[in-house]
Amino acid sequence: MTILPFIFYTCITALVLYVLLNLLTRNPNRLPPGPTPWPIVGNLPHLGMIPHHSLAALAQKYGPLMHLRLGFVDVVVAASASVAAQFLKTHDANFASRPPNSGAKHIAYNYQDLVFAPYGPRWRMLRKICSVHLFSTKALDDFRHVREEEVAILTRVLVHAGESAVKLGQLLNVCTTNALARVMLGRRVFADGSEGRGVDPKADEFKDMVVELMELAGEFNIGDFIPPLDCLDLQGITKKMKKLHARFDKFLNIILDDHKIEKGAAGRRHSDLLTTLISLKDVDAADDDEEGKLSDIEIKALLLNLFAAGTDTSSSTVEWAVAELIRHPELLKQAREEMDIVVGRDRLVTELDLSRLTFLQAIVKETFRLHPSTPLSLPRMASESCEVDGYYIPKGSTLLVNVWAIARDPKMWTNPLEFRPSRFLPGGEKPDADIKGNDFEVIPFGAGRRICAGMSLGMRMVQLLIATLVQTFDWELANGLDPEKLNMEEAYGLTLQRAEPLMVHPRPRLSPHVYESR
């Protein structure tokens, strides 16, 4: 009974603050156009069930640069390549930090991670550690054999599936997680099921945790935009985040404890990332200031980033690619013909082959265009007021880049909803398109200072997986489903998941010895 008056007075307080805020912050400068906000909640109801869809529809009415008022927060949305370039290139330094949000606070160790850390010395240190020890060209080349071995194990798991239908995304997630874990930790974290024992239950649980993380991180939490209501947790999001954080923290603590035991038993120095991170715990930077020290919390936060962002994004992208190729058998046939000419049928494709697989690379680009792993960019925040396209962008504004809408812009792409890899081939509309943050028509990894740190690793893993699955198997949908009827709808979340997992029957198309050759 006592909670009702509290809620009433809290709502009244929020309303008063909203009115005062609007009176105090009403700006004579010209803001970008946008839909009229509702009282208190602002434009939050306009976001709909799938925000990148809703924002793309709003951009058709209000233009590629929109202003929204989400609760008490100014939000600007970029929905065209030219507008995105102004924010992420011209004004990149001004939008290098993240706005406060409950996900970073309650899941990512209170902003101690790389993804949500404020722009500054600590963020640069964390990014440098990853760039040097995990994502540099040398590091990627040194661990090429790890990725190739894990992908070969995946092919054996698929062979052992026999007549059973498999949930492809689940197996892809095990593969990408184990490949990353061997580099980060020096060992696999999940049983691979290559002997026909099925998927490790812990792997299934881990994927569920990552998917839940992406779903919660993609939610627009009312408390983030109307601070007086934060303590009420009206959507129950904060409670779910804290519970999920506890599960991840337990998972990461086990990894750290096991690593210490294994390191002690081995009696030698490991070459994995975690050993490097632990060695940096008590080491000062060159200038001997506190910025050079790495805490236990920062180590766990960094591992959380890498496991969450470096596994599910790659596996879901490959799952989308295979689904598209099943729906377009003529493209799958063309990709196989190229594979048979360049690689042959007596060995598995390797990373060294990828640069010669022109059509395969076009398939990868088209998948990233039509199904970007992060359809709505992670938010950035304006450190100072600025002007974009003649409009005033207030200090403290949150920036969202609708990557999904930009890649489907009919002004930039012919028949943008069609899966057409030829657009990236000579004679196509974008033969020289760069998807690494330089051409803003397609920016699946973002751009500028906060571009995805693991872009190079993600590119290699996605290319190798798609190439291998094209080369080694024929694909049939479960239950005799007609490819034309395959559900291609998207689920809600920070990353672009399929609404329904892809269930397939893999049919080996190479000699049995090829699957055991690596």
CA proximity to 173, closest of 302, 370, 319, 325: 319
Structure tokens at 264: 């002690």
- What is the C-alpha to C-alpha distance for residues 114 and 126, in angstroms, rounded to an integer? 6
Q: What is the DSSP string of 348-385?
A: ---GGGGGG-HHHHHHHHHHHHHS-SSSBPPPEE-SS-
In which order are the strands placed within the sheet that holds 65-70? Answer: 65-70, 73-78, 398-401, 380-381
Q: Which amino acid is at 141?
A: D
CB count in 10 Å sphere of residue 92: 17
One-letter amino acid identity for 220? F
CA atoms within 13 A on the CB side of 403: 26
Q: What is the C-alpha to C-alpha distance for residues 373 and 176, in angstroms, rounded to an integer? A: 15
Q: Which residue has the tokens 């337990």?
A: 250
Tell whether 452 is in a known binding site.
Answer: yes
Give CA–CA dist 401/10, Å, rounded.
Answer: 33
The two tokens of residue 263 are 């390191």
Question: In this structure, what token pair is assigned to residue 122?
Answer: 């600590």
Distances in Å between the Cα of 145 and the Cα atoms of 217, 350, 515 are 33, 9, 16
Q: Which two tokens stand for residue 375?
A: 């359809």
Do 248 and 93 contact (CB within 8 A), yes or no?
no
Least Cα distance to 159 among 119, 193, 113 occurs for 193
Q: Which amino acid appears at position 415 of this protein?
A: N
Tell me, what amino acid is at 114? L
Minimal CA–CA distance to 465: which of 141, 153, 172?
172
Cα–chain-centroid distance for residue 214? 8
Instruction: Of 30, 2, 10, 13, give the one whose Cα is nearest residue 390.
Output: 30
End-to-end CA distance of the chain: 67
Strand spans (E) along 53-122 = 65-70, 73-78
Which residues, other chains included, contact 376 with Cβ-Cβ below 8 Å and sequence gap of 6+?
51, 52, 55, 218, 400, 401, 402, 403, 404, 494
> How many CA atoms within 13 Å lie on the side-chain side of 358?
8
Q: Which residues are annotated as a binding site?
A: 452
Q: Which residues are annotated as a binding site for heme?
A: 452
